[in-house]
């Protein structure tokens, strides 16, 4: 191998998260290289040392068979660059990708509260879930559990109803933020006493993408103009449960909540003939099907590396939770949560929407929850993995993966 200047392309992410090791990941090619050899780790640490400006002189590391073999692997996959040294030419500079958030919450808190209110904070909220009621008489066996994992109807005792004046005030305030999507869930929304006023709100605020979530047993008789219908399907999956009008309506989308391989097979027969893009498969934990999750949901190294993870996604995973960030749940009883499984950030309308966003940003019940537990914080794939979500909370595990510490 020739001597020269060694640098890394801007498309390569480098991780030192696992102690005494280095992982390089190409964010466009989805290939990676890993090493625990101290000399290889030291070489990559030197490349990332700010004083070296992203470039090191290979003359200081070669000849060395182990380093040359490591660099050959990187060169073959396009994860490093070599530039020949020429006489009197200055050392080149390579600007490495780094995380630099001008609106990072910690930085804004240092500057002062004024920078976290008004226009500066309204842009953070992009989606809301409005729980209009919690009344339903179906007594489904999954009622108290599935809504903790995905958008799904649920009932409470005593049942709650969001007053229409509060709903109007809420939607009016949301119109001053960056909210694009409003999800409407219940209960049985057919029992919501203010459906005519709800329809008027939809007409009044066409800038929102409105989504009406209803279980199939409650949703056959309810639809609203200019609102996308999201149909929740749970076992038992029977062909007669799906009206033919739903099957051919492009404005109706289906969410199949499955607990086992057998249910997957049954659900596949149910939706045969319906466009795949209108169907979402949602595994749900019932307290007894951990093996189903281990076989079908838990990630291994091949899963993590199966598709490109962009540098933007990696940086996001370092500072915020992409499953929760930008979303708030407004419940019929007035509570507001960023994570339905955690404590409330406040109540509406006691606090207005911007104040509630501020509360979540500063208290961090969900939006800025990253993988920093004992298992994940020392994993080489820490920021390549998806953000944690409701599954981890409901199942009671820090991570849903099969990845083990690697040895070279």
Q: Express each pLDDT in 57-71 by its tens digit.
A: 999 999 999 999 999
pLDDT band at 142 (very low <50, low <70, confident <90, very high): confident
pLDDT band at 181 (very low <50, low <70, confident <90, very high): very high
Task: Please identify, in words, the CATH class of the domain defined by 108-395.
Answer: alpha beta
Domain ranges of the chain: 5-83, 108-395
Q: Is 300 left (phi over 0), alpha (psi -120 to 50) or beta?
A: beta
Question: What is the reported pLDDT for 408?
Answer: 40
Written as six digits, the tokens of 70 are: 């490591």
Of 188-192, 216-220, 237-241, 273-277, minimum mean pLDDT range: 216-220
Written as six digits, the tokens of 115 are: 């920078």
- Provide the whole-model pTM: 0.92
Written as six digits, the tokens of 146 are: 């599935």
pLDDT tens digit string along 79-130? 999 999 988 889 999 988 776 555 566 665 665 555 555 457 899 999 999 9
pLDDT band at 406 (very low <50, low <70, confident <90, very high): low
Long-range contacts of 269-275 (CB under 8 A, 24+ apart): 269/237, 269/239, 270/233, 270/237, 270/238, 270/239, 270/241, 270/242, 271/242, 273/247, 274/247
Question: What is the reported pLDDT for 86?
Answer: 87
Of 88-102, 161-175, 319-333, minimum mean pLDDT range: 88-102
Determine the Cα–Cα distance for residues 248 and 234; give it in Å rounded to an integer: 20
Same fold, 5-83 and 108-395: no
Is the Cβ–Cβ distance between 243 and 274 less than 8 Å? no
- First-to-last alpha carbon distance for the chain, in angstroms, is 23
Domain 5-83 has CATH 3.40.50: no
What number of other Cβ atoms are within 10 A of residue 267's Cβ?
20
């Amino acid at each position: 191998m020739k001597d020269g200047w060694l640098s890394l392309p801007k498309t390569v992410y480098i991780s030192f998260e696992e102690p005494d090791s280095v992982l390089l990941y190409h964010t466009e090619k989805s290939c990676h290289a890993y090493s625990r050899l101290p000399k290889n780790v030291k070489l990559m640490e030197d490349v990332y040392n700010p004083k070296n400006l992203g470039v090191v002189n290979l003359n200081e590391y070669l000849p060395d068979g182990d380093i040359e073999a490591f660099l050959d692997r990187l060169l073959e996959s396009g994860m490093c660059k070599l530039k020949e040294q020429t006489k009197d030419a200055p050392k080149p500079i390579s600007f490495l990708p780094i995380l630099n958030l001008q609106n990072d919450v910690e930085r804004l808190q240092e500057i002062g509260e004024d920078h976290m209110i008004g226009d500066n904070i309204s842009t953070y909220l992009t989606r809301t879930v409005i729980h209009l009621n919690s009344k339903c008489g179906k007594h489904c066996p999954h009622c108290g559990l599935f809504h903790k994992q995905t958008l799904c109807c649920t009932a409470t005792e005593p049942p709650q109803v969001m007053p229409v004046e509060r709903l109007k005030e809420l939607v009016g305030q949301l119109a001053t933020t960056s909210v694009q999507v409003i999800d409407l869930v219940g209960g049985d929304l057919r029992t919501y006493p203010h459906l005519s006023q709800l329809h008027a709100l939809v007409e009044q605020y066409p800038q929102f993408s409105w989504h009406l979530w209803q279980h199939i047993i409650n949703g056959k008789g309810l639809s609203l103009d200019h609102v996308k219908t999201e149909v929740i399907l749970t076992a038992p999956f029977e062909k007669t449960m799906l009206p033919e009008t739903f099957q051919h309506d492009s404005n109706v989308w289906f969410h199949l909540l499955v607990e086992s391989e057998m249910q997957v097979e049954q659900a596949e027969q149910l939706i045969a003939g319906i466009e795949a893009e209108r169907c979402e498969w949602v595994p749900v934990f019932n307290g007894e099907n951990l093996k189903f999750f281990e076989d079908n949901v838990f990630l291994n190294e091949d899963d993590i590396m199966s598709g490109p993870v962009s540098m933007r996604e990696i940086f996001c995973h370092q500072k915020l939770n992409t499953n929760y960030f930008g979303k708030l749940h407004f419940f019929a009883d007035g509570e507001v949560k960023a994570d339905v499984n955690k404590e409330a950030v406040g109540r509406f309308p006691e606090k207005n929407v911007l104040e509630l966003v501020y509360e979540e940003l500063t208290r961090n019940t969900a939006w800025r929850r990253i993988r920093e537990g004992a298992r994940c914080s020392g994993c080489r794939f820490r920021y390549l993995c998806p953000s944690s979500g409701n599954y981890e909370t409901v199942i009671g595990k820090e991570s849903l993966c099969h990845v083990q510490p690697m040895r070279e």
